[in-house]
């Protein structure tokens, strides 16, 4: 699948996605994944950062509130439009632009750091996207990104539940399949039936790579792997938000912090 088709698919998702995440239906993001990502983030106050695949801008705004001067890009113009509307409503000094992660419109060494919240596994050539992120970093800068965990969320995953409905195991398959644009259709698990009927499922292109391939991409881009994170809901969160209880069995997300050699 070419990057143009990826852009068309995400543009088709952008309006419904924005409405539903702003309504609080992305429970995994809001209660677990983003808080864990921000906890792993080094201090960014006073630094210039780039958020790659920013969507409607919620996570970019979180990083900006930590004191960073943020630029953000997304391949879908409707996502950028929604992000700009929120920036106009509550300014944080964020520069949003429509751009492709495979060809970032910035000179070498433009940024002190880069982030990518759950976007790198959705680009047509993940290795090129990692290399582009590395290119626009200054020497010594870091790139932190989150993806679906390649070991525990390969193209086939099924939760195994006990008689009470509690997740107790995970069945995975197709880990070694090279997936390049296989389209998955799904809903936010917390979305209401009315929302599902109104908008239909999201159609998301997947570009699965093994864990070893992700490490190879990082090394090929001239980055060093500095830290890994595998967010797990604690008992209190799992009780309050049953949607995320399966992360106590096996992780769904993988966070990687890499650094460009000085």
Per residue in 96-106, pLDDT (tens digit) is 999 999 999 99
Helix/strand/coil for 52:
strand
Q: What is the pLDDT of residue 178?
A: 86
Instruction: Using a pLDDT cut of 70, give the percent of the chain over it.
Output: 100
Q: Are 3 and 100 in contact (CB under 8 A)?
A: yes
Q: Determine the 3-state secondary structure of 175 from DSSP.
A: coil
Kindly indicate the confidence band of residue 192, based on its pLDDT and cuts at 50, 70 and 90. confident
**Tens digits of per-residue pLDDT, 24-59?**
999 999 999 999 999 999 999 999 999 999 999 999
| Tens-digit pLDDT profile for residues 127-158 | 999 999 999 999 999 999 999 999 999 999 99
pTM for the full predicted model: 0.95
Decide if pLDDT at 195 tops 90.
no
Judge contact between 139 and 109, C-beta under 8 A.
yes
Q: What is the pLDDT of residues 11-27, one digit of tens each?
A: 999 999 999 999 999 99
Q: Which domains are delineated in the chain?
A: 3-260 (3.40.50.150)
17: number of CA atoms within 13 Å, CB side? Answer: 22
pLDDT above 90: residue 190: no
* pLDDT number for residue 243: 87
């Amino acid at each position: 699948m070419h990057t143009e088709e990826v852009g068309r698919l995400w543009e088709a998702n952008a309006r419904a996605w924005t409405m539903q995440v702003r309504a609080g239906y992305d429970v995994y993001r809001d209660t677990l994944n983003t808080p864990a990502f921000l906890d792993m983030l080094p201090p960014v106050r006073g630094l210039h950062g780039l958020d790659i695949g920013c969507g409607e801008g919620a996570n970019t705004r979180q990083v900006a509130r930590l004191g960073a001067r943020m630029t953000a890009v997304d391949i879908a113009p409707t996502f950028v439009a929604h992000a700009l509307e929120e920036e106009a409503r509550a300014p944080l000094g964020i520069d949003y632009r429509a751009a492709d992660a495979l060809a970032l419109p910035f000179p070498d060494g433009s940024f002190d750091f880069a982030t990518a919240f759950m976007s790198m596994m959705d680009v047509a050539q993940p290795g090129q996207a990692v290399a582009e992120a590395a290119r626009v970093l200054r020497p010594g800068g870091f790139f932190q990104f989150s993806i679906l965990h390649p070991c525990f969320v390969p193209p086939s995953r099924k939760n195994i539940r006990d008689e009470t409905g509690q997740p107790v195991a995970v069945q995975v398959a197709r880990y070694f399949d090279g997936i390049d644009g296989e389209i998955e259709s799904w809903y936010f698990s917390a979305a209401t039936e009315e929302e599902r009927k109104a908008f239909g499922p999201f159609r998301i292109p997947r570009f699965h790579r093994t864990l070893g391939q992700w490490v190879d991409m990082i090394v090929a881009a001239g980055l060093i792997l500095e830290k890994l994170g595998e967010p797990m809901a604690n008992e209190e969160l799992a009780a309050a938000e049953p949607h995320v209880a399966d992360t106590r069995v096996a992780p769904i997300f993988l966070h990687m912090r890499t650094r460009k050699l000085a």
